[in-house]
Amino acid sequence: MTHDEAIQQLLAEYKIAGKEELTNLFIDGISRGEIHFGIKVYSAMKHFYEHSFSQIIISDTGDCLKNDSLLANEFKKPLFDRRYTSFHNMDKHKQQEIMSNGISSPCHICSSSFSYPVEAEFGENDIYSMLQCLRTDNQSDTIDKSLIAVESLEILYSILSTLLQAKDDDNIRTIFKKLKKQEFFKSWKKSLDMVTAEEWLQDILEILGWLGILHTEKHKGAFYEYYNYGNPQLSTHNSDWDYPVDFWRGKDGLDKEALMFWFEGYPKINEILNMS
C-alpha cells in the first residue's frame, strides 16, 4: 500500500466512523486493557490535512554543505510555509529513488513512508497505523452506552479526577506516577506484567491529549489543529511521551469543551464536567 492509497482509505473510514461508537469502545475496554485507538484517529481527522506524498526538494548547488543548510532552513519554517514537491511532480530519477526505498522514504508533511508492505502496528502515528486502528474499531461490534463496564467508567473517572487535582507544576510524568499507586493499576499488574500495565496507562493519558482534553495554549494538539503527527515537537530531546501531553502541566487543567465533546452524558464522567 502506498502513502496516497492509505490516505484515501483513511478518509473513507473516517466518513463512516461514529463518534459515540468509538467513544463507547474506548471507555469499555479500559478495565480489560483493551486500548482502542480508533477514537484517537477520529479526533485527528477533524483537522487532517489531505495531501499527496511530498518532500522538500532543494535545487543542487554543487556544494553538499550548502545543500544541507538550505534544507535545514526550509525545515525550520512553519509546516505550511515550506516548499514541497509532490511525488507526481518529481523527476523520474527521484521517483525511482523513493519507490526503491519506499518504507524508509518519508513524506515531509506527515512523516509516513512512501509505502508500507506489511500490516501496520497499532497506536503509532503514521497514516498506515491510523488506518489500521480506525478500520479495526469501525469493524468491531458496537456497544451501547448503557452497557459500558462500570469498572471502566470508574477507572476513567479516577484518571480524570487525578488530573483535575494536579498541582500547577505537575507534568504528565508526575500524574503517571500518582496513577500507578491507585488500585486499578495494581489490579492491572496482577493480571499482567509491569511493562504492559505501564504501556496501557501511558496510552490512555496520551489519547486524552489527542482528544484535546490535555494540552497547553501553545501546544493544542490534533483536536484543534493539524501538525506532523509522525514528527511532533518534544519537550526534551529524549522524551518518550506523545504530543501534546508531553508539554501539559497541572496549571493547564482539563479542556472542558473537549471533555463535553467526548464524554458528556456518561455516568461518573458528568461529575468531572461539573468539577472542571
Q: Dump pLDDT digits (tens) for 200-246.
A: 999 999 999 999 999 999 999 999 999 999 889 998 888 999 999 99
Per-residue pLDDT of the chain (276 residues; tens, 9 = 90+): 999 999 999 999 999 999 999 999 999 999 988 899 999 999 999 999 999 999 998 888 888 899 889 999 999 999 999 999 999 999 999 999 999 886 778 999 999 999 986 666 777 899 999 999 999 999 999 899 889 999 999 999 999 999 999 999 999 999 999 999 999 999 888 887 778 889 999 999 999 999 999 999 999 999 999 999 988 999 888 899 999 999 999 999 999 999 999 998 887 787 877 776
pLDDT for position 120: 65
Distance separating alpha carbons of residues 56 and 82, to the nearest angstrom: 7
Distance separating alpha carbons of residues 168 and 6, to the nearest angstrom: 41
pLDDT for position 271: 80
Asked if residue 232 lies in contact with residue 238, where contact means CB atoms within 8 angstroms, the answer is: no
pLDDT for position 269: 81
Distance separating alpha carbons of residues 57 and 262, to the nearest angstrom: 40
Number of residues written out for the chain: 276
pLDDT for position 116: 84
Distance separating alpha carbons of residues 20 and 129, to the nearest angstrom: 21
3 state DSSP class of 171: strand
Residues in a beta bridge with 55: 85
Query: In what helix (H) or strand (E) does residue 269 lie, and over which residues does it extend?
Result: helix 269-275
Residues in a beta bridge with 171: 249
Asked if residue 222 lies in contact with residue 258, where contact means CB atoms within 8 angstroms, the answer is: no
pLDDT for position 118: 64
pLDDT in tens, 43-65: 999 999 999 999 998 888 888 89
C-alpha cell at 83: 516548499
Asked if residue 83 lies in contact with residue 261, where contact means CB atoms within 8 angstroms, the answer is: no
Of the CA atoms within 13 Å of residue 8, those in its CB half-sphere come to: 7
